Structure 1
Amino acid sequence: MVNAANNTNSIAIDIKAHFEPFSLSIKQRFPAQGITGIFGHSGSGKSTLLRIIAGLEPNAQGQITFDQQCLLDTSTKRFIKAEHRHIGLVFQDSRLFPHLTVKENLDFAVKRCQRPSLDFDEVIELTALNELKNKSIQQLSGGEKQRVALARAILAEPKLLLLDEPLSALDKDNKALMLNLLVTIKDKLNIPMFYVSHSMAELQQVAENLLILAQGKIVDFGNIHQVIHRLNTPNNKNSLIKQQTSLALTVKAHHSEYGLTRLTINSDQHIYLPLLDEQIKVGSELRCFIFANDISISLIEPTNSSIVNHLFGTICQIKKQDSSVLLTIECGDHQFFTHITSLSFKQLQLDLNKQVYIQFKASAVKTFHLPSGV
């Protein structure tokens, strides 16, 4: 069993659950702060884990402690009911009351909170619902409904917020707005969140930590960027994700005359991506990623090239398989991953500790932030 001592700012889970033909077995301590992403194939146990934490699966065996409170301990027959756990749950469908207005749906959440302390208008502003308060739920778009569902969950003042694929039905622009919204809420209200998604791009944008599940068991857990990098494999057939470099970089400048935004790698090196909305302030952090197939290698600095991004680095890891090679290149404090053919590897005579240049187009740098003009 998980030791319940010293559980301040952590969620300790040691549970087993069996649902024919599926079994879940999780033993892990999670930080009760920031956003923890949960990722895995369909049927890996992601949603089941959330339901157990929320108290919606009473047949789970084991122990869960959170905020110095034991929510579940089957050895002592302790089970805190879902309505007393102070845990919010947002599903992929909004599950709002269709016959009520937006404000009436939100008022319902406030009434359920015994000692409301959040400012109603502040939550409305944070979730960008000021102009929708008096609308019927049936008048809202999918993205607007999810914002209402999120606001309703927040106004119940949960100690923990569980998000079960809340953006799966939204288009890219609405996903971008919701992801930015989640980060703002996390920073402003300091509510820890567990975020389940099939999209690594979504999780990479918002999560500090990442849990990987497969067939009901933990495959990996840790810092979001490090776990993504550990998922990179030379042969991508059985991989959970497309090989990529995951980054969190500082915005250095917006160059509107060139349609580019510049990010800092270190004091000497930087990269460009398509111009972002200038509301993304210089000095702020930007999450972004680059697929390994979009990065190429050169033995000389590619100065006379239309490709704007080229970085100097050292090969620190080589993974060979079949007719391809996955290289890890250290550029300052960051690691970049490039996938090349065995022929290129041989012709360039690459080896460990060899110094090279990597290059990639500005358009290869992906982020969920909205581009300028959107």
Structure 2
Amino acid sequence: MKNLDKYIQIITTNKDFQKLFAARLITLGGDWLLTVPLLGIIYELTENPLITSLVLVVQSAPLFFLGSFGGYLADKYDRKKIIAISEFLSGVVVLLILFAVNTENVAFILFSFGMLSVVSAAYMPTSDAALPNVVEKDYLAEANVIFFSSWGIMAGLGAGIGGYLTTVVSRDTLFTIDFLTFVISAFIVFSIKKDLSEQGESKSDEVTINFIDGMKYVLSRKEILSLVITKATFSISASGLLSLFTVLSYEIYKTGDYGTGLMFGARGIGALIGPIIIRYFFGSTDGKLLNTIGITIMAWGLFYFFISFSASVYLTVFLLILGHSGGGSQWAFSTYGLQVLTPDNLRGRIAGIDYSLYFFMNTISTLMIGYLATVYGVLFVFKLFPVLGFIFGFVWFLSTRSIWNKLET
């Protein structure tokens, strides 16, 4: 019950956290409102799983190249301004995507969607780096669970609503709603009163910010390196399967965008409830919490493996909720570990490196799994890659136990 009291106190009393959290909810909701229809549009235009997977490739590839630079910006400049400007530019790019969709030119659609990632490259590492500066250390674990739950909530609501709205409103209306979400989010962030970094806006004048310092810090600390590689390595097995939700829905379950929305929504629900449950039962210390990461990856692999045997979209939705309870916990607690173990003046760069490696592997995974699905079929990859993910989780758990045990002492 003590953890529950912390959740309630953070949500009800910390106004700056409320604003940062609300902005993230609105932004991620807009992202998912856009992604599900785009997957359906590309698949309808091409009927090709590999080309459909390029929607997620162009979403992730720019973040690989620019994620570390975004983290560098987060340590050098005012984080509040970086987040707000990123949000506003994202809204402008949504209008470009709308124009591209109306041309029905696949290359133009993919290019414009990739531009959304270019202008928002600094958003995730900056918001992650800012979080410890709006909550006290004793509340950071709970705040991080709530903060990460924004992804789960809006992946559930945004994806589900996006899939539904494609059947009842025009594309112009849907994309206009998405544009407004980014603009509203930018204004909310500007209203935050507290500095989102320890040194405030003058920090770029006080210290020299070098990108290479972040990489040196990662390589010099085993616990940091272990946390940085977990998202990236797990992503090899997990990320590419997401683009195939559309193929499963269209070809296996015959449920179209509705089924795609349900599956992405289930992913979000799992990512929401998983970290809360794991934190409640295993979060008495940081060491115990971080030691669960490998186990949660194994849970993802186990439940995803059974999707290949599912004949119903609703059974698949249930398995996705269970699987992403594990996958979501892995993401939330590896991010939390980096926040508490990294000093503020390096936190943006460490987060940027974390995201760059993740999106690099995300891109490789999406291309590789999309190709294999085209050659061998979608059900084959839903058997193979969950097994690989389970093996990685097991190896990571065994190889890092001593690190987290030392953290206990």
Query: Which interval holds the TM-score relative to the shorter structure?
Result: under 0.3
How does the TM-score come out when normalised to structure 2?
0.23
Q: Could you say which structure has the higher strand fraction?
A: 1
State the TM-score, normalizing by the size of structure 1: 0.24
Relative contact order (C-alpha < 8 Å, sep 6+): which is higher? 2
Rg larger in structure = 1
- Bigger helix fraction: 2
